Amino acid sequence: MEKKKLILPHGIPGHNLGEIEREVPASEPPAWPVNDKLKEVGKSVKRYDALAKVTGQAKYTADIQLPGMLYAKFFRSDTPHANIRSIDISKAEDYPGVYGIHLMKTDDGNYPVVKYAGQPLGGVAASSLAIAEEAIKLIEVDYEYLDFVVDVEEAQHPEAPIVHKEKIASQTDGGDVGVTHDGTQANGNVVGPSTGSFFGGPRGDLEQGFKEADVIVEHVYRTQVHTHLPLETHGVVVDWKPGNMVVYASSQNTAAMRDELADYFDISKGEVRVISEYTGGGFGAKHSAGVYGPMAATLSKKTGRPVWLMLDRKEEHISMGNRPNSIQYLKIGAKKDGKLTAIQQRSHGTAGVGLGAGVGRIAQVLYECPNFATEQYDVYTHAGPGAAWRAPGNVQGAYGVEQAIDEIADKLGINPLAYRDVIDKSDIRKVERQRGAEKFGWSRRKAPGSDSGPVKKGMGMAQSTWPRFVTLDSTAEVRIMRGGAVEIRSSVQDIGTGTKTVLGQVVAEEFGIPTEDVSVLIGDTYFPTGPGSGGSVATGSITPPARNAAYKVKMELLEQIAAKWESDLSNLVMEEGKIVDKTDDSKSVSFKDALKGMRTSQIIATASRSDDYGGFQQPWGLAHGDLGSVQFAEVTVDTETGFVKVDKIVAAHSCGRPLNPAQVESQINGGVIQGLAYALYEYRVMDKQTGFMINANVDQYKLPYAMEIPEIESIIIEDYSGTSSTDAYGIGEPANIATAVAIANAVYNAIGVRIYEIPITPDKILKALNKI
């Protein structure tokens, strides 16, 4: 392959910005300078679909209505563990308005074993949702009831009812890009341990490490199960005509859904079209077609009509994903000078009937430590399956690790912020600590519990890391049309993160035109395959091919113009809405007029994600460097009521080259607020007596509303690494990792006692203060 050399920006402006020379394929576009010198990229361009969203014109999957459409509803188990002897649907079938009923069967033709309360068993399609609901009440099931267990600790008991007698398949949810268990046979309900990640396995000698330690911190940290609760529930509208299945989906990954459905029904991928123009939130849980995709498709095929199948709020809570809980044992040793000597981690968590309840890689990679080992166990329970959620595992892991590090700092008599300078080798987090501390006013922090009076203020901070992942199978198409259109097309979707807008900006920058002149057509598998919106991979995966495709189109247009002008191609530039010959002022044409003079109706080019300039850390797309963050929290704790209020969060983040600072800030706000909800409010309550989730709604499932929202200030730090034609990465995961533990550290600073379990509800504060 022909190569060329590029000089790219490298480092952090205001800290160590320099340049780096990279050898790259000759087809790559020239290097972009830092954001300051660009016109569209790096600017807070208005969100593409904001107009449609504020006027109610945006059509989400739930809003799709097709001629002849039926409404479908799942029929679900009302017991957590049972064998099904028989199901009688005769009365339901006869109910007026019912068009089709499908009961789920296993591969060997039996009814599935019920393993959690609310497990889908079948679906009913009817002329209205109300009729489908009425018909479901008429279905009679003869259950053989079995003992069940919903508690993560009780499930580990040797005598506990077994959830899966068989070995279950590995976790398939596309959202988790960490290491998960391979579905090895469980010992009782316990699977594992997982002891390594793509960063390696255990290292050094724990025993020796703890011997060398002057200070040791050893505790058990607990986090709860909480549910994603996207405002638009999971669901699809499927219109399956012979040879053509059209699926409108509330999805984070249109391409994965297409592949799953084609695979499930054993049809060609070309026969399945998944469209996701707007998705009302996902947060990790909407990567897969799950059961609802095949169910709606089956009912559509059975009835010959389009079928609408959106879950209701209760179904969403119970069955469509949650962040697994964790019971994390941590032992960390350090020398007097602060250097870490050993980290031992052991965790148990439950993703219900699913897998993926680990605590991530934070303990393994955040700080240098020669001796490290982790054992992460999954525990099956009779509860709905977990799903990836913003930085899966790592949020739970951070809740322990960053409290333990805080505690070591305390024992060593070092300010926790300064202590991170001792043990953290990351350049980006160093800058984030400096700039964050200044904005936050960290110097105001007092000794733990030193506020007089019953209402105490406290300050805390915490750090995080998230790898730079890239989905190499990411393709974008750019086309310009004679007479005026500029388009970018890809199956990548925008779930509210702003992907449409950044794609428009990148293409506009390349063509030297305003962003609003670019049409962004995405979220449709009839376009080239783009990445899923998860793991913070979308921006880093799809913006480089978008730019590269635009560059190819641009060069073809310039070649046509160079031929016409008899100019040297290398003298032509395209910027500020025109094309000029640098060496001849008389040769100039506006971009719009140039499009009018095109030889063919369109120029089209596609590009796929190139390998990182300089290569990957892992060939499948683990880039070098990380997405570091440092967050600061200020809280008020009322020691008489136990009530905690978060007053302020300062969140310092990096995401490579930030493409649209306003949108980055919006996602940081989102990560912080979800972190706050996790720290103080949210909690899936399972009734041990019945096996049901008790608070499967929006009023008893506690969430933050306007009054609970603190002041949030974000600091976005440009961090150039010269790894791709846009050098941009995502922010979804990093924004969510450090918040809960920063709040916990602030609560400690306020009251002088540590809370080892979230959510930090008033009873936990009062208990910690020995008041109840």
Partner 1 sequence: MNRDNLKSKNESESSPEKTRKGISRRGFLKGAGMTTVGTVALQSGVLGNTLDEQSLDEKAIGPDAELIKLKVNGESHSLAVEPRMTLASALRDKLQLTGTKVVCDRGACSACTVWIDGKPVNSCLTLAVEVQEKEITTIEGIGTPEKLHPVQEAFIEHDATQCGFCTPGMIMTASHFLQNHPNPDLEEVKTALRGNLCRCGTHPNVFKATLSASKKM
Question: Percent helix, strand and coil across the chain, each rounded to 5?
Answer: 30, 30, 45
Question: Measured from the CB of residue 134, what is the shortest distance to partner 1 in angstroms?
Answer: 11
Question: Measured from the CB of residue 670, what is the shortest distance to partner 1 in angstroms?
Answer: 3
| One-letter identity of residue 194 | S
The answer to whether residue 694 forms part of the interface with partner 1 (CB under 8 A) is no
State which of positions 125-154 bind partner 1 (CB under 8 A): 130
Question: Measured from the CB of residue 499, what is the shortest distance to partner 1 in angstroms?
Answer: 12
The answer to whether residue 50 forms part of the interface with partner 1 (CB under 8 A) is yes
The answer to whether residue 59 forms part of the interface with partner 1 (CB under 8 A) is yes
- Binding segment toward partner 1, per CB under 8 A, in 227-235, 479-487, 506-514, 546-554: 227-235
Q: DSSP 3-state assignment of 295?
A: helix
- Position among 396, 475, 515, 663 found at the interface with partner 1 (CB under 8 A): 663
- Position among 16, 57, 110, 618 found at the interface with partner 1 (CB under 8 A): 57
Distances, alpha carbon 171 to alpha carbons 178, 187, 192, in Å: 11, 17, 13
Question: Measured from the CB of residue 654, what is the shortest distance to partner 1 in angstroms?
Answer: 19
Q: Which residues, 6+ apart, have CB-to-CB distance to 738 below 8 Å?
A: 398, 402, 462, 463, 464, 629, 630, 631, 651, 675
For residues 299 to 338, the per-residue mask of contacts with partner 1, x marking binding by CB under 8 A and - elsewhere, is -------------xx-------------------------
Instruction: In whole angstroms, give the CA distance from residue 416 to residue 5.
Output: 44
Smaller CB separation from partner 1, 93 or 708: 708
- Spell out the SS3 assignment of 381-393: CCCCCCCCCCCCC
Residue 367 C-beta-side C-alpha neighbours within 13 Å: 26
Instruction: In whole angstroms, give the CA distance from residue 317 to residue 168.
Output: 23
> In 26-97, at which residue ranges do the beta strands (DSSP E only) sit?
70-76, 82-88
- Position among 379, 401, 558, 673 found at the interface with partner 1 (CB under 8 A): 673
State which of positions 476-505 bind partner 1 (CB under 8 A): 495-498
Smaller CB separation from partner 1, 539 or 723: 539
The answer to whether residue 346 forms part of the interface with partner 1 (CB under 8 A) is no
Alpha helices in 413-525 (DSSP H): 416-423, 427-440, 499-511
Please tell me what DSSP assigns to residue 232: S
State which of positions 578-607 bind partner 1 (CB under 8 A): none
- Binding segment toward partner 1, per CB under 8 A, in 375-383, 398-406, 424-432, 692-700: 692-700
Please tell me what DSSP assigns to residue 529: P
Question: Measured from the CB of residue 196, what is the shortest distance to partner 1 in angstroms?
Answer: 33
Q: What does DSSP say about strands 578-581 and 572-575: parallel, antiparallel, or unpaired?
A: antiparallel
The residue written with tokens 């002088």 in the block is: 752
- Position among 414, 703, 766, 769 found at the interface with partner 1 (CB under 8 A): 703
Instruction: In whole angstroms, give the CA distance from residue 163 to residue 116.
Output: 9
Smaller CB separation from partner 1, 159 or 699: 699
User: Among candidates 744, 764, 767, which has minimal Cα distance to 405?
Assistant: 744
The answer to whether residue 46 forms part of the interface with partner 1 (CB under 8 A) is yes
CB 281, CB 496: distance < 8 Å: yes
- Binding segment toward partner 1, per CB under 8 A, in 50-58, 158-166, 200-208, 723-731: 50-58
Burial class (CB in 10 A: 0-12, 13-18, 19+), 584: exposed
The answer to whether residue 173 forms part of the interface with partner 1 (CB under 8 A) is no
The answer to whether residue 53 forms part of the interface with partner 1 (CB under 8 A) is yes
Give the angle subtended at the CA of 664 by the CAs of 284 and 608, to the nearest 5°: 70
Instruction: In whole angstroms, give the CA distance from residue 724 to residue 716.
Output: 20
The answer to whether residue 44 forms part of the interface with partner 1 (CB under 8 A) is yes
Smaller CB separation from partner 1, 60 or 380: 60
Beta bridge partners of 123: 74, 102
Question: Measured from the CB of residue 516, what is the shortest distance to partner 1 in angstroms?
Answer: 12
Smaller CB separation from partner 1, 579 or 676: 676
- Position among 1, 26, 447, 707 found at the interface with partner 1 (CB under 8 A): 707
Q: Residue numbers of the site for partner 1 (CB under 8 A)? A: 44, 46-47, 49-60, 62-63, 65, 130, 229-232, 278-281, 283, 312-313, 495-498, 662-663, 665-667, 669-674, 697-699, 703, 705-707, 709, 712
